[in-house]
Structure 1
Amino acid sequence: MTQSPPCPLPAPKERRRLRESKSLTQAQVAAEVGVTRETVRAWESGRSTPTGRKRETYAKLLSSAEAEGQAPAAEAVATTSAAPVRSRRSVGRWDSAPLDQGQERGGGWVRPAAEAGENPGPVVSSNGATEAFDRLYAYAAPGLVRQAYLLTGRRILARESVERAFQLAWQRWPEVAMDRDPAGWVRAAAHEYAMSPWHRLRPSHRHPEAPPADADDRALLDVLLSLPSSYRRTLLLYDGVGLDLPETAAETEATTPAAAQRLLHAREAVAERLPALAVPDQLHRRLTELAGAEKLQAPKSTLVRANGERRTRFWTRSAIAFTVLIVGATALTLRTAPTRYEPVPAPGSMISDVPLRTGPGALSHADKKLRDKLHKSARSGPHRLAPEVD
């Protein structure tokens, strides 16, 4: 019996847009589908995909929102909020290196995300996954290293974050290749790894790295690192990378009003310490200059793929060894465990006709009293009886 193919679903960002166009919250969608709000958030961020009946219900809900053709509510919310929504930047995107003059736009392996109002297409490669991965790496890795440096202020961690993100992308390449924005997928993975709070426990992070040589760059980097991690990432994505407010909110897993508030507070903190950067265009220019001032190079794609495959083999073998160990311990337990019930021996009973213990023992109270009396009598002593002479 053949199973029917799963219902088609739009891209994660499109799911969020369709939900907001119908003026629905994530809690309302979760109640309609029968899941939790965190599950709907994971669906909209691309971390997971619904299956079974929940997928059908979710697909019908999104298709009804698309059929109504209402204007996206996210734009109205962002317009009424304190942070104005501007169009996506057509230049200055850091998630990719500058396009060569001879590179084809829109018909190659990835459509540049800087195209205004256009979503990047899926990765397509005629020469195999390896060539497509290498081209994606050459396209996005240089800019992602600079972004990770602005998020962390550490050069080694920036390169490590990009390497780990692309290793994860290589492990899940079929999913990344069919994503509408492969560079955005890797960018989200690199940012999350770079801003993980567990890095502060590493011995190498107990000492800060050397700051930038320029005084203005040092001041701007200090302001960025003083911001909360969520504010810093929102500011980087909106004023640095050039994403619009709904895309920034989706990538940071926040609501659009929450992302707008974070952006406002981050801009106010930067303008308070650096008044010259109160204008968003000036802030974007300085962020670009600060990112380009550091000579950060990502490792080669072949090395990233090799390290990723080596890491995958190591963890696979470790999992197999751990499983074999558990199976062996279970088999040993079953082999040595008793197969029948053995009653506990009864408590001991009294044994008669056992002679009493002999030998000197402790003196009783009467014995001690007699001993003391005799000792006193020995010193003063009673008069000895002596015969009298007649």
Structure 2
Amino acid sequence: MATPAQGEPFAEAADEAVQIAAMSVRLVMAVADAVRRHQQRRKKGGEEELPSAGEAVEDAQAALKDSLPQDISVALTAGADWPQLAQQLMALKKAGVDLEQLLPRVGDIAVTVRDQVIANGMLVARERAGAWERTLRETLPAGPVREAILSSPTWPDIAATMARLDERGVDVRRILAFAHDEGLGVDHAVAKTLVAGGAPTTSRDAMLSYGPLTDGLDIPKDLDLGDRTRAFRQLSISPYENEGFVRLVKETMPDREREVSLMVMAKQWPLVAARMAKMESEGKPVKEHLAGLVKDSSWERGQGQLGSRLALATAKVLSHPPGEVPPAGQLKVSTRAARSQSPTVGPAKARVSKGSAPAGPGVAAHRQAGSGVKQAKTR
């Protein structure tokens, strides 16, 4: 995901963190000033007058220069209450407080607050972006448009925009469906201009994956499992989601951490994660299905790499009732999966029976007449 410096929403979040850090400085100084006033009332029967604002501002700016980070210092001096804060600082100095000792400690507190706010904001942003990646997976078919959205440098901004629209009651899924059709037109037009050829041919990874690993999944014909980052992007799996799926398997097999790590590193893992994501979107208990791995030890023996065997076994238990041991046997190519990924019937098109009208070129199966666009709001 993007850093706070990339994109308007993240820049706003970073600015907010600095403002909150400045607020923490004001809080500490207000407490220190209250203690000064209280002590003077007790010892002298009254408070000493504050220095003039003009003199205090100039002296306070010099005191802050080497004690606080520049961004926090600028936020403080730009505030409407800066003259009052400057007077408090100079009053503390006049009362005997060593600002060269106090201000660096205050600066450390402010930096901690700023960094904590930024970290929390990034975590929330990742969670929200992950939720919108799930929305893309559920709304848009695998293909060039969906991958273009997720691979765009402006994806964090796109996700933030969708979140703002959703908060205002706008049907974001409907907009995405329209944008998908328009995006296909743009993709074809640009490809034609660049002489990029026609529709992409089915990749070797997609062909070799036909079977239990992909049966029922929406995968692009140009699936690239050799590039893991791109594979997750093509399958609309966010890093946050992937971490959660890895954690689920580790919790299911606590004594097999090495084997689980080998599976996660295996080439087939993105497809296993995609199946878990699909099950979660359908409300199915992924963890209960994974419990079948404890009963099925057939993956420990056989040909091929251990991680790949465990990935295939995991795909099998995810496709069977929770806790049930899938029947043993040779994995076969799924004709349904192969047919759905064929050059003539891509993942973004539905097979049309005789006598029924096609939904139109490039329209996803789940968006044909009668299915409609989901109206559920996604946060």
TM-score in terms of structure 2 length: 0.22
TM-score in terms of structure 1 length: 0.21
Which of the pair has more CA radius of gyration? 1
